[in-house]
Structure 1
Amino acid sequence: MPNGHTLVCGGSRGYSFEIDEDEKVVWDYSPMTMFRAYRYYPPALVEMELNATEDELLWVNMTSFASDLDTDFDHLVVRENSPFVEVLGLHLLAMYPEGITMDVFDLSVSDGIFEVKRRVLVNVTPVNDPLT
């Protein structure tokens, strides 16, 4: 579960309980003979290290880096916190001006229930910059 606990459901009587990291029962429930439980999968977001060229548009298709077993890509929400990056649907667009050689930003993907975050590193290759 998102809180690190484990949900256990089973038995002919529908006995369910949640245990924490120390295997202590947080709550338990024993309804009649029928019950239903749903499993929601959080999105997956692989680590990303990108390479960009100064003053050139970097276009990144997030479907290569993000997935969700029970949510279509059209319903995932992508967010970032870089002044050089913009989210357009499931694409990242980045433009790095002269003088920026690296960017590190937080990227998140949400399915409306769960959100996963990764730190992204972008190495920027300078073009036509004077030698120092």
Structure 2
Amino acid sequence: MGGVQRLPNGHTLVCGGSRGYSFEIDEDEKVVWDYSPMTMFRAYRYYPPALVEMELNATEDELLWVNMTSFASDLDTDFDHLVVRENSPFVEVLGLHLLAMYPEGITMDVFDLSVSDGIFEVKRRVLVNVTPVNDPLT
């Protein structure tokens, strides 16, 4: 239990798993930071902005297209490794676009985006707020 992650800045993130100890070291093996909360399975390093917020306007039951290319442009990759995990039943992934239908009452969704070139992986969590045009939130 635990793991190691090579970070884009050349540092290394180590998760001690059953010992509950995670730390980041630089190229000279100096500890940048450490944390020891409890037993953990795995640790990942997220860089700001870890949460990207988007504001959309929609009429009731409108289909919205969200181009994911701008979120996936951190790596020089062919985008074949783009993975979108959504926690909403109102979302369908079509290529590099999210097709989202927001029926009445749905005003927010969170999407976890992941881009990998096989060596490094960039992850983003996107919060999409939808304000219905025909029935604004009060």
With normalisation by structure 2, the TM-score equals: 0.51
- What's 1:86 paired with? 92
The one-character-per-residue Cα deviations of 1:23-64 (angstroms, maximum 9, x if unpaired) are 359999999999999999999996645444431111112123
Q: Which runs of 5+ in 1 are unaligned?
A: none
Q: Which runs of 5+ in 2 are unaligned?
A: 1-6
Change (3 A) 1:89 1:83: same
Change (3 A) 1:51 1:112: farther
Q: Secondary structure at the match of 1:74?
A: coil
Q: Which moved more, 1:11-20 or 1:82-91?
A: 11-20
The one-character-per-residue Cα deviations of 1:77-131 (angstroms, maximum 9, x if unpaired) are 4443332222111111111111112223323233333332222222222355599
The number of equivalent residue pairs is: 132
Find the structure with the greater CA-based Rg. 1
For 2:130 and 2:21, the matched residues in 1 are separated by: 56
Of the three residues 77, 80, 86, the one matched with 1:71 is 77
Q: Which moved more, 1:62-71 or 1:36-45?
A: 36-45
Is the 1:51–1:122 Cα contact (8 Å) retained in structure 2?
no
Change (3 A) 1:92 1:37: closer
Q: Secondary structure at the match of 1:119?
A: strand
Q: Which moved more, 1:103-112 or 1:32-41?
A: 32-41
Is the 1:45–1:117 Cα contact (8 Å) retained in structure 2?
no
Provide the identity percentage. 99
Change (3 A) 1:54 1:24: same
For 2:23 and 2:106, the matched residues in 1 are separated by: 52
For 1:125 and 1:84, the matched residues in 2 are separated by: 15
Q: Secondary structure at the match of 2:69?
A: helix
Change (3 A) 1:39 1:72: farther
Change (3 A) 1:126 1:26: closer
For 1:38 and 1:50, the matched residues in 2 are separated by: 29
